[in-house]
Amino acid sequence: MCCDWSVTRLRGTLTVFALVAAGCSSTTVQLAQEPEVPTTISSTTTTSEVAATEKTPTTLPETTTVTEPTEESVVDCTTVTDFTDTAANAQWIVVNDNVMGGRSLGDRTFTDDTMVFSGSINTDGGGFASLRLPLEPDLMATADRMVFRARSDGRSYVVTFDDSVDRFDRRVSYRAPIEFEATGEWETATVMLDDLFAASFGVPVEAEPFRKDLATRMGIMLSDGVDGAFTLELDSIELCG
């Protein structure tokens, strides 16, 4: 009977140990399966504030950028004429179509430091009037454009150039339109020297490019094929580059 009581007591003790061991094992498994807790956010910052901070770009203070002029952006201009020098004005000569039997009229007058080129075109037997001005050696060597300040009547004037290259079989000049946008108002018109095309007696021809370093003369011409009076008033002519 004593042995039976001891066995019973021993069994009870083993049962308690078994239950404790099972509980420890269960707790260990539960701890192993717990997901990793993210880093705790400060109590003063909410999750939505953190998300907003991550998505919103930082606004930089406005700044003012000052662009310094570069060497390429600087344009240097030389005055060909501003019509204030009487001796220089006298170098402009008139060449009209009467040299080939035409009947157009054209001349220049100087007043108030401007030059007025005016006359009348007659397309019967010719059809052009022009002025010519000799140029100093190397005056155009570094230029890439010619700039006119003038008041136009709306007709299609052109600028012409000659160089000293000997082309033997023909006389070639180089020209481009002077494109004025308004009529009867002072404005500036620019002719890019790269836009010049070769012509012989007014007819476009194939020829080597204009040698601006060998330029000898420039001119202003009207030969638009329209009969009637014309007037072009010029205030200045410049070469720029």
Strand partners, 177: 158
Is residue 207 within 8 Å of residue 162, measured between CB atoms?
no
User: What 3-state DSSP class applies to 153?
Assistant: coil
Range 78-240 has CATH code 3.40.50.2020:
no
Is the overall model pTM greater than 0.85, yes or no? no
Which pLDDT value is given to residue 68?
53
Q: What angle do CA 108, 109, 114 make, to 5 degrees?
A: 105
Q: What angle do CA 175, 207, 77 make, to 5 degrees?
A: 40
Q: CB count, 10 Å around CB of 140? A: 25
- Reference 158, options 122, 196, 107, 188; nearest CA is 196
Is residue 176 within 8 Å of residue 142, measured between CB atoms?
no
Q: Can you tell me the distance from the alpha carbon of 80 to that of 123, in angstroms, rounded to the nearest whole number?
A: 31
Q: Which residues of the chain have pLDDT under 50?
A: 1-61, 63-67, 69, 71
Which pLDDT value is given to residue 108?
98
Which pLDDT value is given to residue 2?
42
Residue type, 2: C
Question: Which residues lie closer than 8 Å to 184 by C-beta, 6 or more apart?
Answer: 151, 152, 153
- Reference 174, options 143, 207, 144; nearest CA is 207
Which pLDDT value is given to residue 169?
67
